[in-house]
Amino acid sequence: MPEYHQSISKLAEWIQNSPNTVAFTGAGMSTESGIPDFRSDKGLWTKTDPMQVATVEAMNHRYDLFHEFYSLRIQNVQQAEPHTGHTVLAEWEKEGKLKAVATQNVDRYHHKAGSRNVYELHGSLEKIRCIDHGHPANSENFLNRTPCSKCGSLLRPGVVLFGEMLPQDTWSNALNCIQQSNLLLIIGTSLQVHPVNQLPSMAKGKVVLINRDEVSAAYAFDLVLKGSAGEILQQVNQVIKGE
Ligand code: OAD
């Protein structure tokens, strides 16, 4: 059996035998839906400097640019949909094969595909709030630049900007979950962003990487599957189902 197929079979076997599997996803999980990642050839940060648009400073001093960048991202996510890979993870959760998904993604596609136990480490584009007091609003209000209906302040998406803390409860819950896992599936992330790139090293069980490009990490993965997340998850699922 060629090496790739052996790895697919091995992962299927590990998932079936693991009492506690957790997935940790990044932007590469959603590229097959048509949402660009950040650091690949066509990634967002190859065209735009994140410091110009995705920082607290940008929100406070360059709101036009900040608003334009996040409006395009919200519209992109609204126009696309989760793919089969998201659905496979949701199915595994329902079948008791997957405990949780910890994600850096802000598109809510794991929820939309049916996953319930999701830790959104970098927040969510959909959760709009006002900058001054955190009053809730909706995406249409943000896109139309309607000010907060309660206090009149400008609106922002509920994502973690560079310079902001991660949501602490979400972080500690994801960390606990990963520490207790027997099998951690890292999917579609370059592992370049702190502090979430520390999570894989906290795992005590097996750690598997599913990624299109090579990832330089300070530790050895137990298994690496090079390729597209959606295709690989689908293939592993077919082996599990005996198809
Ligand atoms: P990156 O863009 O840094 O990395 C995405 C990884 O996914 C790359 O290594 C790609 O090779 C891989 N990839 C792309 N498409 C794939 C596919 N279909 N299947 C498998 N792998 C694929 O994105 P993240 O690591 O998620 O944070 O970036 C982390 C954080 O950096 C983001 O959450 C965002 C960004 O700045 C904030 O904005 C706070």
pTM score over 0.75: yes
Mean pLDDT of 73-98: 98
The residues that bridge with 224 in the sheet, in sequence order, are: 209
Q: Omega before 19 cis (within 30°)? A: no
47 touches 69 (CB < 8 A)? no
Mean pLDDT of 31-37: 98
pLDDT in tens, 180-211: 999 999 999 999 999 999 999 999 999 999 99
Measured distance CA(4)–CA(72) in Å, rounded: 37
pLDDT value at residue 128: 98
**Per CATH, which fold does 1-35+81-122+165-243 belong to?**
Rossmann fold (3.40.50)
Give the residue whose CA is nearest to atom 30 of ligand 1.
193
24 lines ligand 1 (CB under 6 A): no
**Per CATH, which fold does 36-79+125-159 belong to?**
SIR2/SIRT2 'Small Domain' (3.30.1600)
Q: Where are the domains of the chain?
A: 1-35+81-122+165-243, 36-79+125-159
Asked if pLDDT for residue 78 goes beyond 90, the answer is yes
Asked if pLDDT for residue 71 goes beyond 70, the answer is yes
Asked if pLDDT for residue 157 goes beyond 70, the answer is yes
Band of the pLDDT at 243, cuts 50, 70, 90? Answer: confident
Band of the pLDDT at 25, cuts 50, 70, 90? Answer: very high
| 3-state SS assignment for residue 126 | strand
Mean pLDDT of 223-233: 97
Mean pLDDT of 36-56: 96
Mean pLDDT of the chain: 96
Q: Which atom of ligand 1 is nearest to the CA of 104?
A: 33
150 touches 131 (CB < 8 A)? no
Band of the pLDDT at 220, cuts 50, 70, 90? Answer: confident
104 lines ligand 1 (CB under 6 A): yes
pLDDT value at residue 218: 72
Measured distance CA(107)–CA(121) in Å, rounded: 12
